[in-house]
Structure 1
Amino acid sequence: MWSQWLAPDEQHRVPLACRCLLVREEDGRLILLEAGIGAFFAPELKARYGVVEDGHVLLDNLAAAGSSHEDIDVVILSHLHFDHVGGLLAAWDGGPARLLFPNARFVASRSAWQRAKEPHARDRASFIPELITLLENSDRLVLTDGETPDCLPADYRF
């Protein structure tokens, strides 16, 4: 399928990217749309998926923009596949997964959350089970049914 647009490598992988967007509101509140792949991979998974970055690109880019993960107020997640939420985790260090963004609320649709909790066999490998547990236990997860959640202004639609 990918070969219509890109030549896959010898392991049938193609380069992918998930771009994150940082919104700085006039009152200083910071909203992050997506978290990207991050640096949570153990070395064997990093090699399997062809991740070439050595550091946590999202954290580096936030720093370049004058912010850190501690400054983010809301993180909006389109869905919970690892390439969109891996950046919520600290870089792999051999220990248990650690959730970053300690001051943020995490917004996801209820249907995306349910899919992550009970994945289909076709995309089960696309989720990070430890992250699902960390988000659930954070008391900062906001699930929405398509309406604007309370943590966003009324003129935001998600």
Structure 2
Amino acid sequence: MALEQLEVGDVLITWLNGGVTHMDGGAMFGVVPRPLWEKKYPANENNQIELRTDPMLLQVDGKNLLVETGIGTGKFTDKQKRNFGIEHESKLKENLSELGLAPEDIDMLLMTHMHFDHACGISKWKGDDLVSAFPNAVIYVNETEWEELKEPNIRSKATYYKENWQPVEGQVKTYNEAVEPIDGIHLVHTGGHSDGHSILLIDRQGEKAIHMADLMPTHAHRNPLWVLAYDDYPMNSIDAKLKYIAPAIKEEAWFLFYHDYKYRALKWDSENEIEEAVLRNRASE
């Protein structure tokens, strides 16, 4: 089955299968009561919601950029798979092959943050050793995020793994407030979900897209007040959503998703109704 794609200006975006998790719905919607959030996002009998971990391949100016890396393969114990609701792991290599590419063809990794569900696909097993999964890529990570990844605190050590930085340390380029690795493609630091969390902005040939990452992991998180219990700095998350969401809607930007079970991308109108959407094709998995 064909992979879902979207063109934003001259940027071709393709969603790849990075695996899936099922996390606690209450944690994913924080203080929002379940009777409200489950109208917008379904939960299973264990109160878990489906969260894709599907990277976006951006092809532009002859370069291959990967946004996030999925959960990888062979990175979790059976206990972790049960706890995180992992039903299947990454198929990135197979998806890239469908597109005539290999992991060695990825020129850049754009990491919004380094939590395990975004970064476990950054390395792979080669025998008994972990090595870079994308050995030719420059990896862009916010400086604050990178430093906490290497020295996590008592809270963040549950999601920042040494396996996700030690094999790739020599490939990493850090930045402070923002970086523009390709003209019109920016990573911008916001904080909130983590201290070093960033979002992705695309502005090419008069068309725009925004990937809010885990400030808005699903379409159901559009309300600025609907933030995650996982957020380290929730007021910063709210401030960033207030800053970026309304202007993006006004500019008719596409909102891109990594975690959403239903939508790959969508546009909201001024009344917060969905006016265009790229739906996830479940049959392709």
TM-score, normalised by the number of residues in structure 2: 0.47
Cα deviation, residue 8, structure 1: 4.9
1:19 Cα shift?
2.6
Q: 1:155 aligns with which of 176, 184, 199?
A: 184
Q: What is the deviation of 1:56? A: 2.9
Q: Which AA in structure 2 matches 1:52?
A: E
Any conservation in 1 of the 2:141–2:175 contact (CA below 8 Å)?
Answer: yes
Alignment map for 1:35-50 (pairs within 5 Å): 35-39=69-73, 40-50=75-85
When Rg is computed on C-alpha atoms for both structures, the one with the higher figure is 2
2:71 aligned with 1:66? no
The alignment-based identity, stated in percent, is 26
Distance between the aligned counterparts of 2:45 and 2:99, measured in 1? 34
Residue in structure 2 matching 1:32, options 63, 66, 74: 66
Task: From the superposition, tell whether residues 9 and 37 of structure 1 become closer, same or farther in structure 2 (CA, over 3 Å).
Answer: farther
Aligned to 1:116: 149
Contact 2:64/2:105 (8 A) holds in 1: yes
* Structure 2 residue 165 is matched with structure 1 residue 132: yes
**AA matched with 2:130:** A
More strand by share: 2
Q: How far apart, in 2, do the equivalents of 1:7 and 1:72 lie?
A: 35
Deviation string 1:22-77 (CA, Å, 9 cap, x unpaired) is 11123x21111111112122344333322111x53222222222211110000010
Change (3 A) 1:29 1:49: same
Within 2, Cα distance between the matches of 1:106 and 1:140? Answer: 6
In structure 1, stretches of 5+ residues that fail to align are none
Residue matched to 1:107? 140
Is the 1:97–1:131 Cα contact (8 Å) retained in structure 2? no
1:144 aligns with 2:178: no
Conserved 8 A contact 1:99-1:131? no
Selected match of 2:53 from 18, 28, 37: 18
The aligned length equals 150
Q: What CA deviation, in whole Å up to 9, does each residue of 1:126-155 have, x standing for no partner?
A: 12212221222xx21100112325xx2343
User: For 1:85-110, what per-residue CA distance to the aligned partner results, in whole angstroms no more than 9, with x for missing partners?
Assistant: 1111225x882322211111110101
Q: Give the distance between the partners of 2:49 and 2:153, measured in 1 at CA.
A: 23
Aligned to 2:9: none
CA distance in 2, matches of 1:9, 1:78: 31
Q: Does 1:84 align with 2:118?
A: yes
CA distance in 1 between counterparts of 2:124 and 2:45 reads: 28
8 Å contact kept, 2:123–2:163: no
The 3-state SS of whatever aligns with 1:60 is: helix
Find the aligned partners of 2:157 and 2:45 in 1 and give their Cα distance.
Answer: 23
Please report the RMSD computed on the Cα atoms of aligned residues, expressed in angstroms: 2.3
